[in-house]
Amino acid sequence: MNLVISGRVADFVLFLIFCGTILALTLQAGRGKRFELKKRLPALDAISEAIGRAVEMGRPVHYTPGGNPLHGVRGTHIQMGLVICGHVARICARLGAKLMVSVATAEQIPIAEEIYRGAFVAESRPEVQPDVRFYGAGDPSFGAGCLGTIFRERAAVNMIIGGSGSDFPIVAEGAFRAGAFQIGGNANVFMIPLVVAACDYTLIGEELFAAGAMLSEDATQLAGIVANDISKVFIVAVILLGVVLMTAGAPIVLQLLKL
Partner 1 sequence: MTTFIGKREIPVIIVVILSLVMIIPFFIVVPALNVASTEIQRMLVPIAGFALILGGLNVTLRNAMKISKRNKGWPFSIVLLATFIFFLVVTLTPGLEMLYTTAYVTVLGKVNEAIMALIAVFMATMAYRGFKIKSFETCLFTLSCLIVMIANAPIGEAVWAGAPDVRNWIMDYPNMAGMRALNIGIALGIIAYGIRTMLGRERIALGDVEVKVKKE
| 125-164 residues near partner 1, rule: CB under 8 A | 134, 138-141, 143-144
Instruction: Specify whether the CB–CB gap between 41 and 211 falls below 8 A.
Output: yes
CB of 20 to partner 1, least distance (A): 10
Residue 26 as a binder of partner 1 (CB under 8 A): the answer is yes
Question: Exactly one of 43, 80, 146, 180 binds partner 1 (CB under 8 A); which one?
Answer: 80
Residues contacting residue 142 through CB under 8 Å, at least 6 positions apart: 67, 102, 104, 135, 136, 167
Binding-site member from 53, 166, 245, 257 for partner 1 (CB under 8 A)? 166
Considering the complex, state which of residue 62 and residue 87 has its C-beta at the smaller distance from partner 1.
87
Task: Compute the least distance from the CB of residue 124 to partner 1, in Å.
Answer: 13
Q: Give min distance, CB of 253 to partner 1, in A.
A: 16
The correct pick among 43, 55, 155, 170 for binding partner 1 (CB under 8 A) is 170
Element (H, E) at 219: helix 219-247
Each residue of 135-172: b (16+ CB within 10 Å) or e? bebebeebbbbbbebbeebebbbbbbbbbbbebbbbbb
Beta sheet of 61-64, edge-to-edge order = 132-134, 99-103, 61-64, 157-162, 181-186, 201-204
CB-nearer residue toward partner 1: 52 or 57: 52
Residue among 61, 22, 17, 37 at smallest CA distance from 153 = 61
Q: Annotate 39-77 with three-state secondary structure.
A: CCCHHHHHHHHHHHHHHHHCCCEEEECCCCCCCCHHHHH
- Residues between 82 and 101 with contacts to partner 1, criterion CB under 8 A: 82-83, 86-87, 90-91, 94
Total residues in contact with partner 1, by rule CB under 8 A: 82
253 sits near partner 1 (criterion: CB under 8 A): no
Residue from 79, 102, 158, 182 touching partner 1 (CB under 8 A): that is: 79
Q: Does 178 bind partner 1 (CB under 8 A)?
A: no
Query: What's the rounded Cα separation, in Å, for the pair 18 and 41?
Result: 23
235 touches 13 (CB < 8 A): no
Min dist CB 65 to partner 1, Å, is 11
Residues 84, 115: Cα–Cα separation, whole Å: 10
Residues 181-240 touching partner 1, rule: CB under 8 A, are: 187, 189, 192-194, 196-198, 204-206, 208-210, 212-213, 215-218, 220-221, 224-225, 227-228, 231-232, 235
Residues 50-69, interacting with partner 1 (CB under 8 A): none
Does 3 help bind partner 1 (rule: CB under 8 A)? Answer: yes
**In this complex, which beta carbon is closest to partner 1, that of residue 23 or of residue 244?**
23
CB 61 within 8 A of CB 157: yes
